[in-house]
Structure 1
Amino acid sequence: MRTMLLLLLFCTPLSALEWQQVKIKQGIEVYQQKLPDGLLKLKAYTVTSGCLAAFEALLLDTDNADKWLSNVDSVEVLKSPSQNEHIVYTQFNAPWPIKNRDMVTYSRIFRTSNRQMQIGIRAANNEYAKRDGFIRIEHVAASWVINQRDADTISVEYQAIADPAGKIPHWLGNSVAKSNVFSTFKKMKARLKLYPCNAI
C-alpha cells in the first residue's frame, strides 16, 4: 500500500501540488512539492552539453556512478531482463548522523523518439535480500526525461520521491535530499563531457 501511495503521489497533477522553487544556481533549477506525509517530491532541471547517447552511456557506466551520484558508494547491476531493463543495487554512504542506506530498483529506458529518452525507476526489493549494516530504502519512484535540443545540447529533468526509512526526521531527510540532487546535477554536467555522442 505504501508503494502504491508513493506512485499515486508521484503522478499527482501539478494543479494539485504546486512546485516551489528551492534553488537556481549554475544553470541548475531545483523545485519541491510538499506531500501530506511530510516527504518531498523533488524536481531538478538543467540544460547542458551532450546528447542522448552520452547520457545513456553515463547511466550504464555503473563502475563510475560514485563520481557523479551524490553520496553513492557503489552501484551494481544485478540483472538485465532486456537491453533496456535493469535491476540495480545501490549503496549510499550517508552523512553523519544518518546511517548508511541501500536500495534495489527496477529501471527501464524508453527512447520515445530520436530526440527524447525517458527512464522510469521504482523499488524492486524482492530482487535482493537485505544486507547487514544498511537500512533499506524500500519506497522510491523516480524518472528522468532527456530531450535533444540541438546537435550538442540536451535538457535533463529528474523527479523523485523516496522514503529514507529508519528514524530520520523529515526535516533532516528532506534537507539532505535537496542538497544531494543539486550536487548530483552539478557533477553530472561535468561528467557528461567524458562520454562521446557515438558512445551507444
Structure 2
Amino acid sequence: MYRLIAVLLLLFKITGATAQNDWKFKTEKDGIKVYTSTVSTSKFKAIKVECELNTTASQMIKVILDVSNGPEWLDHTKSCRLIKQVSPSELYYYSEVNIPWPVQNRDFVAHLMVRQNPDTRVVTVDGPAVSGLVPVKQGVVRVHSSKSLWIITPAGPNVVKVVYTLQVDPGGDVPAWLVNMLAGEGPLKSFEGLKLQLKKPVYQNAALAFIKD
C-alpha cells in the first residue's frame, strides 16, 4: 500500500507554475529523470520531470487535452471527464484518483490553458486546481492546492524536450514524510504511460490550429 501512496505525487494532468531553484536528482528510468525540491510554504516536496520524447508538440497537446482518456496513462487515475470546453486550447475538467484503502481517494477540478510562443514555438500548459464547478463527494478528499507546469520545447524533427513541474498538497492525513520518500514512483509510471499513449493511432499526425510544430 505504501508504494501506491506515491501516486499522489503525480495525480494531475493539471498545470500552473512551480518555481524552484534547488532541484535534487531523485531517480531515472528510460530517459525519464525525476527531481525533488523543498518548498518553504509546504511540507510536501515539489516534483520535476525531464525527458525527450519522439513526438511533436501537437501530439503532446492532443494527449494532454484529451482528458477523458487520462486514465489510460495517468497512474491510478480512476476517472476524468470534461466539464467545460472554453475554446480549442482551454477547458475545465474533473478527475478522481483511486488510492488503495485505508487512504481515501482524491479528486480535483482543473482549468487547462495552452499557450505557444510564436517566436520560439515553446508550448506551455497551465491549469491550477480551481474551486467549485463539481460538488464535493462524500468519502473523497478534494484537492484545493496544486500548481504545475508543462514546458514543451522543439528539439529536432519529431522530437520535443518536456519539463513538467508539480507542487501539490494532497490534503487529508497522508504523512508528508512518506509522500516525499516515494516521490519518484508516481511520475515515472505516468511518463512511461505517456510514452505508450503517444504511440496510439488516434494521436498520430496530430494537427492543431493553435500549435505550430
TM range (shorter): 0.7 to 0.9
Please state how far the C-alpha of 1:60 moved relative to its aligned partner: 2.1
Please state how far the C-alpha of 1:176 moved relative to its aligned partner: 4.9
- Mind listing any 5+ residue stretches in structure 2 that lack a counterpart? 1-16, 209-213
Match of 2:146 in 1: 140
Match of 1:19 in 2: 23
Match of 1:198 in 2: 206
RMSD of Structure 2 on Structure 1 (CA): 1.8
Q: Go from structure 1 to structure 2 and tell me whether the alpha carbon gap of 1:148 and 1:197 turns closer, same or farther (over 3 Å shift).
A: farther
Please state how far the C-alpha of 1:78 moved relative to its aligned partner: 0.4
Match of 2:10 in 1: none
Q: Go from structure 1 to structure 2 and tell me whether the alpha carbon gap of 1:10 and 1:167 turns closer, same or farther (over 3 Å shift).
A: same
Query: How far apart are the structure 2 equivalents of 1:175 and 1:71?
Result: 19
- Mind listing any 5+ residue stretches in structure 1 that lack a counterpart? 1-8
Match of 1:165 in 2: 171
Q: Write the mapping of 1:1-200 to structure 2, written as runs, cut at 5 A.
A: 10-12=18-20, 14=21, 18-36=22-40, 37-113=42-118, 115-194=121-200, 195-200=203-208
Q: Go from structure 1 to structure 2 and tell me whether the alpha carbon gap of 1:197 and 1:115 turns closer, same or farther (over 3 Å shift).
A: farther
Which one has more relative contact order, counting CA pairs under 8 Å at least 6 apart? 2
8 Å contact 2:62–2:206 — kept in the other structure? no
8 Å contact 1:52–1:197 — kept in the other structure? no
State the number of aligned residues. 188
Q: Identity rate of aligned residues, in percent?
A: 25
Q: Over residues 122-145 of structure 1, what are the superposed CA-to-partner deviations in whole Å (9 max), with x where a residue is unaligned?
A: 111122221122100110001101
8 Å contact 2:68–2:82 — kept in the other structure? no
Q: Go from structure 1 to structure 2 and tell me whether the alpha carbon gap of 1:169 and 1:82 turns closer, same or farther (over 3 Å shift).
A: same
Q: TM-score, normalised by structure 2?
A: 0.82
SS at match of 1:123: coil
Q: Go from structure 1 to structure 2 and tell me whether the alpha carbon gap of 1:77 and 1:67 turns closer, same or farther (over 3 Å shift).
A: same
Please state how far the C-alpha of 1:177 moved relative to its aligned partner: 4.7
Query: How far apart are the structure 2 equivalents of 1:135 and 1:53?
Result: 33
8 Å contact 1:110–1:119 — kept in the other structure? yes
